[in-house]
Structure 1
Amino acid sequence: MANIDIAASKPEQLLGQIAERGWSSHCFSGPDLGSIVRELGRIGDCLGTRVAGRAGSLEEVIQPRTTGGAHPRSLSSRYGLGALPFHTELSHRTRPCRYLLLGCIDPGSPAAATMLLDWRNLRFSPHELDLLEAAPILVRTGRRSFYSTILAPGGVFFRYDPACLEAFDDRGRSALRLVEARIDGAASEAEAHHWSQGDILIIDNWRVLHGRSPSDHGSGRRLARILIDA
């Protein structure tokens, strides 16, 4: 856990911590859902502008769902209570959110960890980075589907979500296979955040992919979530 006082910290302190490894974790002693959501909002408002999640809300409470109970185009609709693969939040939008803020209301029993993996540690060669920045892929998002690349121009952000990215030519297939292989090879190096009630996690969504270890139906795991653009 980070040892700074999150309630008294300034935005530059938080950004400095996030810049070190792409994410920052803290303990918050708020007693209930409302206080955790308010604290996430306070932090998020210091970092940028809130953006709505898939359901259209600026504040969300998320929990593991079965395939039948999940949004049709979400990762949970494909993987259910199994492990959720590493991905970039809001990959289905032209510009993914910059920061992902999570606060633990209940870790659940058994608890499921959030897995964190910095894409810069996937050891892409210069040639491979060129492929990721140039190979077109289709981002499936219903009637608003669009073409993009895995790596934004100049390496500004990394877009990856196996639930909505689709290759339509050989270059795109090569790019997606490359990312899948590197993630599989680096999975053992990922960091696991094991939740306790009141934990707060701030993730640089342009840099760090996140996933979830397997969960059980009715485990009680609940996280508050706020998404921030900057």
Structure 2
Amino acid sequence: MDTNNLADRVVRNGWFKSSVTEMGHDMHTAPENIAKLLGNPITGRAGKRIEPLAPTKQVSANAKSLSVVHGLGSFPIHTDGAHRLQPPRFVVLVCTSPGTSPVPTTLIRFRDLQISESERERLEVAPFLVRNGRRSFYSTICSPSRTFIRFDAGCMMPQGAESEASASLIAHRADEIGFTLVHWRTGDVLVLDNWNVLHGRGLGAAEASNDRKLLRVSVL
């Protein structure tokens, strides 16, 4: 497979789906090697470049993760790394096990939300407190001074009615339009344009099993 223009393909469509064998890798080398085709891999919150992701019950979840709120249930759509001043440009996900109770990853391009000009103006001014410990800061969902979308109800606290309305607009519009679903198989690879695509986990009340495992590498 020609991977020379992988970043262009991801940006053009919003994501790229393949498998480790189609991309010429094995399960262990794929996450970081694919990430290096896209840019500079970075470490996650635990200080690891390759981060294992598995559904976790609320009582066992990291206090800063979405699992502490949603447990084994569905994750709302979000930007990975929204707590950073600049979220990762790309996210590489490799499935090592879909789990005994598989749930899909949900995807939606921001451009497909059909945001009007007046709605965009609201998203550019309604403030949120982005919680990141001592490095917390204020931000908006969109901004004319940057090219990425910042959206994550897990770390972005609305600062007033306009902010609450902005967050509701994104969530409700996505539900109305519908999601693209990625149903995982062992060895699947998914590369996301994290600046322009929101993603989540599962639909409705479906719960994931804790033997579902993805490997994630974030790329600047």
Q: Is 1:145 aligned to 2:136, yes or no?
A: yes
Bigger mean CA offset, 160-169 vs 99-108:
160-169
8 Å Cα contact 1:60/1:224 also seen in 2: yes
Q: In the alignment, what sits opposite 1:198?
A: 187
Aligned counterpart, 1:211: 200
> CA deviation digits over 1:160-211, x for unaligned, max 9?
111111112333223222223222323xx21111111111000000011111
Q: Pick from 36, 53, 58: which aligns with 1:67? A: 58
Deviation at 1:156, TM superposition (A): 0.6
Please give the alpha-carbon distance, in whole angstroms, between the structure 2 residues aligned to 1:190 and 1:18: 17
Q: Report what 2:7 is aligned to.
A: 15
Unpaired stretches in structure 1, ≥5 consecutive residues: none
Could you tell me whether the CA contact under 8 Å between 2:83 and 2:155 is conserved in 1? yes
Letter in 1 for 2:7: L
Which is richer in helix?
1
What SS does structure 2 have at the residue aligned with 1:89?
Answer: coil
Give the partner amino acid of 2:175: D
Contact kept in structure 2, 1:37 and 1:224, CA below 8 Å: no
Instruction: Determine helix, strand or coil for the equivalent of 1:24.
Output: strand
Corresponding pairs, count: 215
Report the alpha carbon displacement of residue 19 of structure 1 after superposing the two structures with TM. 2.7
Report sequence identity in percent. 35
Partner secondary structure for residue 11 of structure 1: coil
Match of 2:88 in 1: 97
CA distance in 1, matches of 2:162, 2:74: 28
The equivalent of 1:225 in structure 2 is 216
Deviation for aligned residue 1:93: 1.0
SS in 1 for 2:32: helix
Distance 1:127 1:58 in 2: 40
For residue 105 of structure 2, what is the amino acid of its counterpart? T
Question: Structure 2, unaligned stretches of length 5 or more?
Answer: none
Whole-angstrom CA distance in 1 between matches of 2:19 and 2:171: 33
Q: RMSD in angstroms over aligned alpha carbons? A: 1.8
TM-score by length of 1: 0.87
Contact 2:56 2:67 in 1 (8 A): yes
- Could you say what secondary structure the match of 2:88 adopts? coil
1:107-122 map, 5 Å: 107-122=98-113
Return the TM-score normalized by structure 2. Answer: 0.91
